[in-house]
Structure 1
Amino acid sequence: MTTAGSRPVEAPRQDTVEASRQDTGPVRRPGVAAPPPSSRVRTAVTRALVRRALERLPLRARFADGTRVGLGGPVIDIHDPDAFHHRVGVQGLVGFGESYMAGEWDAPDLAAALTVLAGDAARLVPAPLQRLRRLWAVRRPDVQRNTPTGARDNISHHYDLSNDLFALFLDDTLSYSSALFQSFPASWPLLAAAQHRKIDRLLDLAEVGPGTRLLEIGTGWGELAIRAAARGARVTTLTLSREQQALARERVSEAGLDGRVDIELCDYREATGTYDAVVSVEMVEAVGEEFWPVYFATLDARLAPGGRVALQAITMPHDRMLASRDTYTWIQKYVFPGGLLPSVEAVEEVTRAHTGLRTTRRDAFGAHYAETLRLWRERFTERADDVEALGFGETFRRMWTFYLAYSEAGFRSGYLDVQQYLFTKEDPTP
């Protein structure tokens, strides 16, 4: 999953993650403790623009001075209007997220409020300012480029936080991607079965069975590899996270499948060999646009003739991808450095231009991701004391809550979607 001073803009690396983990009191995260400098004029202009946007939204914004704005609906309580407008004026949506992390605003139903904003995302910024986006939007720092070295750092920033943290809000399968439910509303006891349903559908698409040589790009914590090996496949799975590799190896061993699964600490670009099937679940979002051709070419190169690729990917509308692809977002700054969601059109363009892979089937199920995220968010909230006991402070907990609610809102509003693809290789012979 992927989205961002007077100080230079840079992605928080592992040292800032560690600083956040030690904080159990007030806000201490760099760039969040105090709003960045801004002129009174800029803040006043931001105040006017925010009010204008809120006046036409089905929201109720309640300001500390008693002002009420909006057409009604989910509530946003802005406790410190000056700091809130200050941050938004300087850093846009990055500042909006940081203001929540700093406790300057809140919402009784955060996901509902963010769903309204996500549904109107393309129109929140006035058209004249949209056309000048390149002048005011913060640019993504070069340090987040997904070169072989950068990709390792970016993956470590998120997935090496703590296996225990992820275990607190994920189900027993430790699957960190959209589940596939039979009915709504979803409930926690059904999540593990829904994750298995998603995995089994991907394995079925790739026709994984006894004797299949399977390459998985992006191990997670090993559930897909375990289920594939249990079908009789011989699995090679790649990860850049040492934490994930260690726990996935334990889980494979506990399942009695040591001889059927190899878990390699390896960049996808370093993969070798050919396979009957390749599966990759929500990995392309972390690749970065400039490396999409390399990523899909790798899938193509590793696939044996007659083989099949099953891919699960989060997507966004093509026009929004084009408008925001060079912008530094809150998600990129705090959660997924270097990430970018592709559009369906972008996937089609890249595979046609750089590979022999062709889309044989594509199924969208964004509503299922919204429910998956809701269950994760509720679980995370219920276990806040356990998260704190792991050493993750208040700022981190607000950041993670915002991340889960922000992502859920994207799917509930239809701004985001998730796809399962089946690719087959075009016959090169005339």
Structure 2
Amino acid sequence: MSREMLEAFRILEEEKHINKEDIIEAVKESLKSAYRRRYGQAESAEIEFDEKTGDFQVYTVREVVEEVFDSRLEISLKDALAINSVYELGDRIRFEESVSEFGRVAAQSAKQTIMERMRRQMREVTFNEYKEHEREIMTGTVERFDDRFIYVNLGTIEAQLSKQDQIPGEVFKSHDRIEVYVYKVENNPRGVNVFVSRSHPEFIKRLMEQEIPEVFDGTVEIMSVAREAGDRTKVAVRSHNPNVEAIGTIVGRGGANIKKVISKFHPRRLDPKTGLYVPVEENIDVIQWVEDEAEFIYNAIAPAEVDQVIFDENNSKHAIVVVPDNKLSLAIGRRGQNVRLAAHLTGFRIDIKSASEYEAMEESLLAAQEAPVEEFETVEVLADEPVLEIAD
């Protein structure tokens, strides 16, 4: 051990982010372990490190006794007095041991211990680095593909972009630069896993924060996002400044802000019908958020008109939305998409009813309430069924 050891410690600390104290502790443990293997015990061993010279000293401590039973732990009074006449029974004397006798074994052990600590600490450093970026957008490079993931290089780690986290139909090639949303960072014994997404609703929110100054500074707040990636998104917004109109700010003049957000998606995807690459188009509906839940649901069902919103007395998060007969299909949307997005946006379970359906449902309930007494038992059996079952 020498000043070269100090230099090695400095390099490990600066380049590998391994604390010098951890390395010194690892070497001490290794020396003690090597001493134990050589002499069968290490209770009496003390390891010290000289910060100036970079040397490790190994000492054994022996107790002064009348009769010696273990020469590694004890020393006779006669031998102790030969060293110094002041020693008495019960005193403890330190003896420096030759490190070279077991140093080679200790060096191997120390190397293994240091490597393990280095891996553990580098894993911790990597985890902390990317944990800070959780729930943020990062830019990376597409590195490779397998059946489960696209691996995106974020700098010091390959993040995993699963199929469900990709925008449907979006196509990438190796070395493409893409933006991804970091939604989960895990630290486990095998390493750090970073999971990223381009289909996550928060991806839209973060893009708007990047591209629209009023969203970034908090003047306009994005309250919720519902998304079916690659097809349609609903965004609920409100303004904290009476002079700033929330929807107009998000859309921008001539749709400029929305276009900037959409341009952040990969510019083209493969159309399976034509076999050609076409631009990715994801419609973004911007909805006015309001505190009144009925009005918020009314806004969320847009572009369909709403006649009324009726809340379920037995379930505070369920609502029936009544729309004109000729707006029913528009309110429900293609494959139920419009009402599904509205439900995610508002946090309500929403049942869409046409005006005629709702009127028939009310008439049925009214007739049940007005039924003659002799039919009461039959009506009561039906009434045991939930009102919503009857409505359906």
TM range (shorter): under 0.3
Larger RCO, structure (CA 8 Å, separation 6 or more): 1
- Under a length normalisation based on structure 2, what TM-score does the superposition of the two structures give? 0.24
Greater helix share, 1 or 2?
1
Greater strand share, 1 or 2?
2
* Structure with larger Rg: 2
